[in-house]
Amino acid sequence: MFDKNMVTYVDGKFDNLQRFYVLALEQNDPEGIHDLRVELKYLKAFFRLVEAINPAFAARKKFRNFRNIARTTCGLRDSQVQIKLVEKMGADTGIDVTGFRLFLQKQEHDYRNRFIGFSSSKPLRKLEKKGADIKKALHAIDHARAEMRARGRFYNLRNRLIFLHREDTLKDEILHTVRKLAKETHYTLEIIRSSFDILRDSDDFIAKISSAHKLLGKWHDFEVCRRFLGEYRDTNPPDASETLTGLADSITAAKEALRKDIGTAFDEFSKIAETT
């Protein structure tokens, strides 16, 4: 039964992926692009869970074409987020962000063209046979063993997060790791709950981990902003030193404020995680 549940789940994700891909490509819809990338992250977690259940399923190889879509849409999504973020920073601080905003708009245009060019190869057609591979991998494992391995996959992810919390540090490199791991842990748990009759009593866990990775997402946005700001600086924009300095200071301040909030959210999550 678990295999049918998992196949039904992933079929729904494939349908969502196709729908959001069309929105992203034909309408350049920012929410469609965001939703497309979220579905890709769910699918990545799903493929890794299938590999945990059946090690013969090579998740990295099977996910390759999905990864190509994720890589192609990453810059487009980042530039769209940054345009809104920088406009808000300008409004909040009074800094003239006109030049930087124009730079970001050009980045969005360039990434958009790359996405259109990539889409001419019809990448969705390369994904059509993945469902059969998943069915085969899951059908080969009995329910009891699959449930044990699925539970083990979740606890492995959860324990890595608990370990990172015990390091008692919120350095940037740790936060990068926690951000990615928190999402995969959350998504893996949701997939397991929809496929097996286990881990049902974990609503508090999901609420706490969701709060943590939303804050980490905001922190990451400022990290990306700093990267784009560096690229803008490299273009040697005339008379932009005040803008560059002001935005850099604002980014640093925003990151530090978020770091404190992330610390609190991570503490609360860890208390729940150790009892889940």
- Separation between Cα atoms, residue 197 and residue 180, nearest integer Å: 26
- Classify 29 as helix, strand or coil: coil
Question: Is 90 exceeded by the pLDDT of residue 275?
Answer: no
Reference 221, options 88, 25, 35, 105; nearest CA is 88
Write out pLDDT tens, residues 209-265: 999 989 999 999 999 999 999 999 999 898 888 888 999 999 999 998 998 899 899
Angle between helices 130-139 and 30-53 (to 10 degrees): 30
Question: Is the sign of the CA dihedral 9, 14, 15, 20 positive or negative?
Answer: positive
Question: Is 70 exceeded by the pLDDT of residue 74?
Answer: yes
Assess contact for 178 and 265: CB atoms under 8 A: no
Question: Is 70 exceeded by the pLDDT of residue 170?
Answer: yes
Identify the residue whose tokens are 């999504």. Answer: 77
pLDDT at 168: 65
Write out pLDDT tens, residues 1-13: 788 999 999 999 9
- Separation between Cα atoms, residue 269 and residue 265, nearest integer Å: 6
Mean predicted confidence (pLDDT) in 107-122: 94
Q: Per the structure, how many domains does the chain have?
A: 1
pLDDT at 191: 96
CA distances to 83, 93, 156 from 103, rounded to whole Å, are 9, 19, 42
Question: Is 70 exceeded by the pLDDT of residue 176?
Answer: yes
Cβ burial of 266 (10 Å; 0-12, 13-18, 19+) is buried
Domain of 267, CATH number, reads: 1.40.20.10
Question: Residue 189: phi, psi to the nearest 5?
Answer: -60, -45
Assess contact for 104 and 79: CB atoms under 8 A: yes
Q: Looking at 140-235, list the stretches that DSSP marks H as alpha helix, in order from N- to C-terminal side.
A: 143-166, 172-195, 203-234
Cβ burial of 60 (10 Å; 0-12, 13-18, 19+) is exposed
232: left (phi over 0), alpha (psi -120 to 50) or beta: alpha
Q: Which domain holds residue 119?
A: 2-273
Question: Is 90 exceeded by the pLDDT of residue 78?
Answer: yes
Tell me the percentage of the chain whose pLDDT exceeds 70: 99
**pLDDT-based confidence at 276, cuts 50/70/90?**
confident
Question: Is 70 exceeded by the pLDDT of residue 180?
Answer: yes
Question: Is 70 exceeded by the pLDDT of residue 190?
Answer: yes
Cβ burial of 210 (10 Å; 0-12, 13-18, 19+) is middle
Tell me the percentage of the chain whose pLDDT exceeds 90: 70
Mean pLDDT of the chain: 91
pLDDT at 127: 75
Mean predicted confidence (pLDDT) in 171-182: 90
Residues contacting 112, CB < 8 A, separation 6+:
28, 76
Question: Is 70 exceeded by the pLDDT of residue 121?
Answer: yes
Mean predicted confidence (pLDDT) in 98-111: 96
Mean predicted confidence (pLDDT) in 92-101: 93
Question: Is 90 exceeded by the pLDDT of residue 131?
Answer: no
pLDDT at 123: 86
First to last CA, the chain: 25
Total length of the chain: 276
pLDDT at 182: 94
